[in-house]
Amino acid sequence: MCDKRSRRYLIGTLAILAMFSFVSCRKMSLPKLKANYFFNKANTLFKDGKFTKAIVEYEKVIKYNPDLKEAYRFLGESYKSLYIPGKDTADNKDRAAKALDALKKAYDVDANNKDVIYSLGDMYDKLRDVENAEQMYLRIIDLEPGNMNNYYVVAEFYKRYGGEKKELKEKAEQMYLRRIETDPENVQGYAYMANYFDQLPATEFKDKFDRALDYVRKRETLEPNSAEVFYTVGVNRFQKAYQLQNFLSQADKETVAAAAEKNLLKAIEIDPNFPDAYAYMKILYINVHAKIYPEREARYTSEADRYGEKFQEKRKLQLDRMKLEKELKKG
């Protein structure tokens, strides 16, 4: 979950908490009424991005109602929002320590709250405390094993550190596989696994294209008439032919390039208005075919221009359609 999405989610949570506290006011003692007042004030400041001022108000909340767990959570979120990862100053370290302390207290109060667990894990992650971050993220899966997004959060976490520790790269792959095993009929799991291999460095993992292709082919069994699947296969074969051109034999180049062309044309056949398929046909002819068959370069250059024009035409249609749909939604 990226920071912007997290922030939007937190603001939504605050809106719900504000409604709940308003309804409950009549039953509160005077200290709790004061805590409620400061809590709503702090939440408004948090939503406006005024984290330093929000911290002051959340501290008042805890003073008057130390049992209000959400105050600890959002106090921690406020400090975390001010923390700059990697900045080695006393003030920044102090923010990190206070964010961690508040989020730990929120966790102690409600150890089964997924949002608190994620936030604490995210803070450990920002501090590059891999071991503790991993424990928090894995706990989310234990609490919600049926939520597919949780597997992606953990897999992406492992992938970020995979360049530093080989075992974490392996754990990332295992987590994507767990996602597939949990729901083998869902095409998204195979798409994420293929994308994982696609993003590995080609010079280090020369088999990455073929490993990614295995998972795209599994998508094909679930979506045999999907233009996107054939397009993805075509792009995969293009990337292998292009990125590994210095490592493949002439025969292998020809085979892989032919597969790229075949699948991109199949995508166009299924969906003639798929702009990206035309774009890749253009770069395939210029960057691969023309080099494999230099005697046909003029022909492939001409064909590339034709596919480039088709791309522009289909892209314009796509943008016009998107604009119309947006206008209709407004109306």
Tens of pLDDT, residue by residue over 140-180, are 999 999 898 899 999 999 999 988 888 998 999 999 999 99
User: What is the model's pLDDT at position 30?
Assistant: 75
Amino acid at 2: C
Question: What digits encode the pLDDT tens for the residues 250-307?
Answer: 999 999 999 999 999 999 999 999 999 999 999 999 999 999 999 999 999 999 999 9
What count of other Cβ atoms lies within 10 Å of the Cβ of residue 243?
Answer: 16
Residue 196: CB partners within 8 Å, gap ≥ 6? 155, 159, 172, 173, 176, 212
User: What is the model's pLDDT at position 162?
Assistant: 85
Amino acid at 201: P
Gap between the Cα atoms of 160 and 163, Å rounded: 7
- DSSP for residue 163: T
Confidence of residue 22 (pLDDT cuts 50, 70, 90): very low
Question: What digits encode the pLDDT tens for the residues 179-238?
Answer: 999 999 999 999 999 999 998 888 888 999 999 999 999 999 999 999 999 999 999 999
Return the ∠ at Cα 20 (arms to 81 and 24), rounded to 5°: 130
Q: Which fold has domain 111-183?
A: 1.25.40
User: What is the model's pLDDT at position 124?
Assistant: 96
Return the ∠ at Cα 219 (arms to 217 and 220), rounded to 5°: 60
How many residues appear in the chain? 331
CB of 38 closer than 8 Å to CB of 64 = yes
Gap between the Cα atoms of 122 and 73, Å rounded: 13
Same fold, 1-109 and 111-183: yes
User: What is the model's pLDDT at position 10?
Assistant: 60
User: Please, what is the end-to-end C-alpha distance for the chain in angstroms?
Assistant: 32
Confidence of residue 16 (pLDDT cuts 50, 70, 90): very low
Q: Is the model's pLDDT at 52 over the cut of 50?
A: yes
Q: Which tokens sit at 317?
A: 């249609």
Q: Is the model's pLDDT at 47 over the cut of 60?
A: yes
Please count the helices (runs of H) and the strands (runs of E) in the chain. Answer: 16, 0
What count of other Cβ atoms lies within 10 Å of the Cβ of residue 291?
Answer: 15
Question: What digits encode the pLDDT tens for the residues 82-127?
Answer: 999 999 999 999 999 999 999 999 999 999 999 999 999 999 999 9
Return the ∠ at Cα 258 (arms to 256 and 264), rounded to 5°: 105
Confidence of residue 14 (pLDDT cuts 50, 70, 90): low
Q: Is the model's pLDDT at 2 over the cut of 50?
A: no
Residue 295: CB partners within 8 Å, gap ≥ 6? none
Q: Is the model's pLDDT at 79 over the cut of 90?
A: yes
Rounded average pLDDT over 27-36: 78
Half-sphere exposure of 217 (CA within 13 A, CB side): 7
User: What is the model's pLDDT at position 142?
Assistant: 94
User: What is the model's pLDDT at position 7?
Assistant: 54
Q: Which fold has domain 1-109?
A: 1.25.40
User: What is the model's pLDDT at position 102?
Assistant: 96
Query: Which of 9-18, 60-69, 132-141: highest mean pLDDT?
Result: 132-141
CB of 73 closer than 8 Å to CB of 115 = yes
User: What is the model's pLDDT at position 204?
Assistant: 83
Positive or negative, the Cα torsion across 274, 199, 154, 106?
A: negative
The domains of the chain are located at: 1-109, 111-183
Gap between the Cα atoms of 82 and 215, Å rounded: 41
